[in-house]
Amino acid sequence: MLKLSNLIIIFIYLFYLVNSIETDLIDENDETLKSEEHDKFNKSYNNSVFEGISQKLQEDIRIFCIILTSPKFKSSKCIPQKNTWLKRCNGYIFASSKNDTTLPSIESFPKDNYKYSYADDNAYLVMENLRAFLLNEYPDSDSYFGFTIYNPPGNVANGYIQGGSEYVFSRKTLNTLVEKGLSNKKYCTQRNDVFDDKEIGRCLFRMGILPTFLVDDRGRIVFSPERISSVIAKEKKTMDYLVNTHLFNLKEVWIFLPIFQ
């Protein structure tokens, strides 16, 4: 059984967004070929210094990734993630409507270990940048991070992390949410017809935990809700070491992957 007490959990709300018909019809064998080409590219240059730093960060900052998905997205989204950034998680699993040992995926969540942690099959995370950011954060503080939205603007009570990009919860915040909030109607709604990201924001606010909107020392965002191509086009508005992008499609993964490696 996975112990969450030693992990910082990525918490990402799922949007089932079909990027394009072309993306969803990509053959899995073609995807395997692209993965082999990527491995060949990696072996074509000396990457030992980066890999050494990456390995050290992975040992010091442990992150378990859970990706909520659907069987129909296995080839178009799950496999590209498995072949790229998920390799750099300390552990990962897909949650789907059926078991699939090749991913691997689980049909439903067991008890507290997975039930309240979600990841997005439309996200690409730069794990080294995320870990470098978390080096200065404390897992036992009341904090959670991501692309924060205030609706209406300036209304702190309605602030929430935009779920499509990424949630990063401290260990303490996750424990508080699970053990104190989710089953208590005083803090969290017991309905299942609400938007997860908005309701998580309200729930944590009622328990005195506020989201943190992160920018670097030049006012550039750290967590991006946009796709990779948009981030590249707006490079002056995003930080040098961006943590994530959202809404990628398969073409973008292979075109822009060297930039994030």
Indicate the domain borders of the chain. 4-260
What are the distances in angstroms from CA 167 to CA 8, 41, 62? 11, 31, 15
- Taking the C-alpha atoms of residue 164 and residue 259, their distance in angstroms, rounded to an integer, is 22
Span of 7-11, 169-173, 213-217 with lowest mean pLDDT: 7-11
Q: Taking the CB of residue 133, how many other CB atoms lie within 10 A of it?
A: 19
The band of 232, judged by pLDDT with boundaries at 50, 70 and 90, is: low
The band of 166, judged by pLDDT with boundaries at 50, 70 and 90, is: confident
Q: In the numeric block, which tokens belong to residue 228?
A: 């990779």
Q: Please say if the pLDDT value at position 187 is more than 60.
A: yes
CB distance 205 to 155 below 8 Å: no
- Taking alpha carbons only, the member of 126, 191, 113, 199 closest to residue 165 is 126
Residue 256 vs residue 197, higher pLDDT: 197
What are the distances in angstroms from CA 33 to CA 30, 60, 124? 5, 33, 20
DSSP state of 78: I
The whole-number pLDDT of residue 131 equals: 86
Which fold is adopted by the domain 4-260?
Answer: Spore Coat Polysaccharide Biosynthesis Protein SpsA; Chain A (3.90.550)
Overall pTM > 0.75: no
The whole-number pLDDT of residue 186 equals: 93
The band of 21, judged by pLDDT with boundaries at 50, 70 and 90, is: very low
At 104-118, the pLDDT tens digits run 877 644 433 332 334
- Taking the C-alpha atoms of residue 28 and residue 80, their distance in angstroms, rounded to an integer, is 10
Return the ∠ at Cα 38 (arms to 32 and 44), rounded to 5°. Answer: 145
At 78-93, the pLDDT tens digits run 888 888 888 888 888 8
